[in-house]
A and B are shown apart, each in its own frame.
Chain A
């Protein structure tokens, strides 16, 4: 046993990607088990490892943790990425929840029927540009600091850089009206742990392709 956290999920982003980002940014090495077949998934359920019969699953510190938010909160708390007090936590939580709502749209995008793709794409663009990015642009402008909360690197910053890059994959010029976010993106991308995570060969997963979508539908059909 290595003592490193072990992540069990499909070999793709999905709901595990924010966890890979957070561990990566915290400089924590981890191992991964990839689910490739329905049988593997059923075996995992039968074995009693999945509290609510769902993945993500992260084995960490003797716990078999499930539920993405619970896992992320634990990791953020453990690695001092959750602010210095309750109020900073509250801000981080608010920012993370907002970003999660945006990321949820991107997560579901490949699974919508083809006739809805254009509508969903426009929705992502509209929400990113009018609802979410303006909030963080304003936060950074108002305090003039490098990080979103408490002048210190936190989970909120990691979640935001992940979201910026994910939206840019769909809408390359999405940051054009957001100079603070452009600078933020460069700053975060250059932090040593994140820089490493952004390099080829890291645990970061590529955007979902048809094969990934097929695998998801096959494994999680119910």
Chain B
């Protein structure tokens, strides 16, 4: 047994990508077992490994953890990326919920087609520009620190960088009105562990392509 966390998911971003980001940013090496066909998922079911019959599942510290938020909260807490007290946690939680909502919209985009896809992309752009990014721009402006909460790198910063890059992939130039977020993006991308994760050959997964989406539909019956 390696002792490293082991991630069970399809070989793509989905709901596991934020977990990969957080572990990588924390400098934690991890292994991955990919669900490539329906039989792989069925085996996890019959083994009793999935508490609610769903993935993501992460084997960590003797637990088979499910539910992305629970997994992320555990990792953040374990690796001191969750603030110094309850109030800092509260701010980190609020910020992360916002970026989760934004990334959730983007995650659904490939499952739309034609007209609805265009509309959905327009909604993503509108929300990113008017609802989400202004909040983080203002937070950085108000305190003038390098990080969102408590003047220290936290889960909120890692999640925001992930959200920025993901939004830029579907709408380049989205940060044009947000100078502090542009600087933030540069700064956080240069954190050594994150820099490493952003390089080719890391465990970061590419954006979903049609082949990936088709396989996901097949495996999960959606």
Contacts and interface: CB of A to CB of B under 8 A. Distances in A.
Given A52-B98, A132-B52, A67 B73 contact: no
Nearest to A86: B77
A97 interface: yes
B211 interface: no
Contact of A86 (B67, B74, B90, B97): B74
A221 interface: no
Interface centre among B63, B65, B74, B135, by most A CB within 10 Å? Answer: B74
Interface range on chain B: under 10, 10 to 19, 20 to 34, or 35 or more? 20 to 34
Interface residues of A, number: 27
A66 interface: yes
Given A52-B135, A63-B87, A89 B94 contact: no
B70 interface: yes
Nearest to A99: B52
A70 B97 contact: yes
Contacts of B132: 52
A109 B89 CA distance: 32
B70 A93 contact: yes
Given A69-B69, A90-B73, A94-B66, A63 B90 contact: yes
B131 A69 contact: no
B53 interface: yes
Contacts of A81: none
Interface in A91-105: 93-94, 96-98, 101
A61 interface: yes
B46 to A, nearest CB: 15
B87 A87 contact: no
A94 B73 CA distance: 10
Contacts of B98: 51-52, 67
B86 interface: yes
A111 interface: no
B148 to A, nearest CB: 13
Interface centre among B53, B78, B97, by most A CB within 10 Å? Answer: B97
A92 B167 CA distance: 32
Contact of B93 (A53, A67, A96): A67
A129 to B, nearest CB: 13
Interface string A39-71: 000000000000111000000010101110110
19 contacts: A51-B94, A51-B98, A51-B135, A52-B135, A63-B87, A65-B90, A67-B94, A70-B90, A73-B93, A74-B86, A87-B61, A87-B63, A89-B73, A90-B70, A94-B51, A97-B70, A98-B67, A131-B53, A135-B52
Interface of A: 51-53, 61, 63, 65-67, 69-70, 73-74, 77-78, 86-87, 89-90, 93-94, 96-98, 101, 131-132, 135
Given A51-B98, A69-B97, A94-B51, 15 more contacts: A52-B101, A63-B90, A67-B98, A70-B96, A70-B97, A73-B90, A77-B86, A78-B86, A86-B78, A87-B61, A89-B74, A90-B63, A90-B74, A93-B70, A94-B67
